[in-house]
Amino acid sequence: MKVLVFNCGSSSIKFKLFAMPEESVLAEGLVQRVGNLDASAFMKTPGGKIELEQALEDYPAGFAMIKSMLLDPDKGALKVLSEVGAIGHRVVHGGESFSGSMHIDDQLERGIEAVFELAPLHNPPNLTGIQESRHMFGDIPQVACFDTAFHHSIPETAYRYAIPESFYTDLHIRRYGFHGMSHQFVARKTAEMMGKYKYSVNLITCHLGNGSSVTAIREGHSVDTSMGLTPLEGLVMGTRSGDLDPGIIFYLHRKGYDTESLDTLLNKKSGLLGLSNSSNDVRDLESKAAAGDSKAALALDIFAYRIKKYIGAYVAVLNHVDAIIFTGGIGENGATMRARILEEMNELGIILDQEKNESHIGIAGEIQASDSRIKIFVVPTNEELAIARDTYRMTS
């Protein structure tokens, strides 16, 4: 079966075509800057590459471009659209209603729309992508895979906030967590690499990128995670503040900041960018720090310190930890940052082998020292494959 996966953002559409169950990639591509005159598209297949630049006024135009590339007679991956057996979609927020992947129908679309206010930047384009895909592909089965679903196993003691109960019962304010498909994928892959059953391992998974989160996994199930109602809570990120005293918001409000400016400040102007006053990219900051930029060095130290704090907290939550996993762009490729995070944790049984660490750049494998009680893994994530697997399982 050929399974097509879509990941739709506010101005971009990522897609990947898999042959299942072999899990081989037949095509992958990206349409970006949808709604702009300088929109572009890219697709790679075994037959070659397609690169296009043209104005795309809306999502229908973006999907039409994807259709054209997939059906390209020379470098496409399909002869007719009906070769696709099923389609999977990433949906960021499923609220409390969706605890797993679901077949898409009109009722499910309404359910995704019902939680727009919980993910106003993500769920609307996710739903638009689903609607365009259903229009284009007709009766081909389609599946929604929710980023929050893996975290539905978190107990109430971890997901409730200490605010009046009515805010939970009436407004559904609670910890939901994100990056669920990534955390689940690398947890299952790590169990496989350790030769263990997926529900017999305790893990701490660190998804580190421009958006970052840490998850505590007990016996294969998420029991706590650093992101909360929104992706703003938790770690210092590229442009997001992560954890901070809520009183800061009231203080800034009294200083004249309105809700929109506070939202922009904490989501787009904070984190590594705000601390360094120069960049949200760890690679840039490491170069600047090496050249003597003290603000860049401090930003990196704070980023690493916050991750170390969460790892320590989750060691306490789990009591017994089989492995710590690094994934995401920084987690997979940032050997220097991994070393910075894990330094001076030997009393917890976490000891890095620096040579192994430096040799695992984007490569799966173990990087702990021989006397480390807890294993340390680098595991490249593959959210598209996780979606394809769920979609295939539900439609084959």
Active-site residues: which are they? 147
Q: Which two tokens stand for residue 277?
A: 């006053």
DSSP assignment letter at 314: H
Grouping H, G, I as helix, E, B as strand and the rest as coil, residue 39 is: coil
| Residue 60 φ/ψ, nearest 5 degrees | -55, -40
Whether residue 120 has a cis bond before it, omega within 30° of 0: no
Instruction: State which H helix or E strand residue 180 sits in.
Output: helix 180-193
Distance CA 384, CA 396 (A): 18
Sign of the torsion formed by the C-alpha atoms of 188, 194, 199 and 201: negative
* Contact (CB, 8 A) for 102 and 88: no
275's enclosing H/E stretch is: helix 271-276
Q: Are 277 and 267 in contact (CB under 8 A)?
A: no
Nearest to 246 by CA among 163, 170, 165, 311: 163
Alpha carbons within 13 A on the beta-carbon side of 209: 14
Phi, psi dihedral angles at 97 (to 5 degrees): -80, -35
Q: Tokens for 245, please give them.
A: 């005293």
Q: Do residues 379 and 395 lie in contact, with contact meaning Cβ atoms separated by under 8 Å? A: no
